[in-house]
Amino acid sequence: MFELNERLAADTFEVCDLAVSKVLLMNDTAYPWLILVPMQNGVVELADLNEQDQQTLMTEMVQVSEVLKELTGAHKMNVATLGNVVSQLHVHVIARFEDDAAWPAPVWGKTKAIPYGAQAQAKFVEVLQQKLA
Amino acid sequence: MFELNERLAADTFEVCDLAVSKVLLMNDTAYPWLILVPMQNGVVELADLNEQDQQTLMTEMVQVSEVLKELTGAHKMNVATLGNVVSQLHVHVIARFEDDAAWPAPVWGKTKAIPYGAQAQAKFVEVLQQKLA
């Protein structure tokens, strides 16, 4: 059974499962920020996925990126797998704006997360679920 | 004809062309750092590539990442497309070490680039060309 890393679980809300990835919403209202986690234990690098799952992951990265861009009107999408802190393979998909808190720098480590209120979070997750279904 | 962004050109050395991407070596000895640039004008987001080129790009991201990891013995590979400063689509593939200058933070904006000497650069490019051929 797939086990989501504890820190990823603590920092996010679940949105939905795609074919390869679980989609999570980062609990930070500073940026519309999703995370894709391939639902396989022990996967750290992209190369740890088999070739077909790598290809499906790319499709999901593009799909999620496009949905988030369309929903938010972002100026640029940032798509990245770093994993220096949490090694479980996860891909950040972040909607960036020219007036956001970190622009043009990457978002990591720039600002303290500003959590969602319960209602805003539930509503955003619902919209995302509809768009990604 | 494909035109490489001037800033990308200025900051890097050319390594080789793969099926979709031009491979560049970032001129910063602080990190073994390659950049893949799909050789198509006007491409900004992953979604701007057609589906087949997206899939080939993923294959190239994994290949280049694996080659760089094997050559350097990196602890973790960082693979990211940001594009907040240079909008031409480009994918960073960076070999990270637990004792590098930015660890565990992302590398961008952390340290001033330390350029390669001519000999070290030529040698690294040659090794990369052999491995990626």
Closest residue, chain A, to B82 (C-alpha): A78
Q: What is the pLDDT of residues B88-116, one digit of tens each?
A: 999 999 999 999 999 999 999 999 999 99
With tokens 């004809």, the residue in question is B1
Residue of B nearest to A62 (CA): B47
Among residues B49, B131, B96, the alpha carbon closest in space to that of A79 is found at B49
What is the dotted CATH code of the domain comprising B6-132?
3.30.428.10
With beta carbons under 8 A apart, name residues in chain B contacting A83: 76, 78
| Chain A residues lying within 8 Å of B96, measured CB to CB | 84
Average pLDDT over residues A4-20: 98
Given CB atoms, is A50 within the 8 Å cutoff of chain B? no
How many Å apart are CA A27 and CA B16, to the nearest integer?
Answer: 41
Beta-ladder partners of B81: A79
- Would you say A48 and A42 are in contact if contact means Cβ atoms under 8 Å apart? yes
pTM of the model: 0.98
pLDDT score for B39: 98
CA–CA separation, B84 and B132 (whole Å): 28
pLDDT of residue A3: 98
A55 CB near a chain B CB, below 8 Å?
yes
What is the distance in angstroms between the Cα of B124 and the nearest Cα belonging to chain A?
23
**Residues A49-104: tens digit of each pLDDT:** 999 999 999 999 999 999 999 999 999 999 999 999 999 999 999 999 999 999 99
Q: How many angstroms separate the CA atoms of A131 and B79, rounded? A: 26
Ramachandran angles phi, psi of A124, nearest 5°: -65, -45
- B77 with A105: Cβ contact below 8 A: no
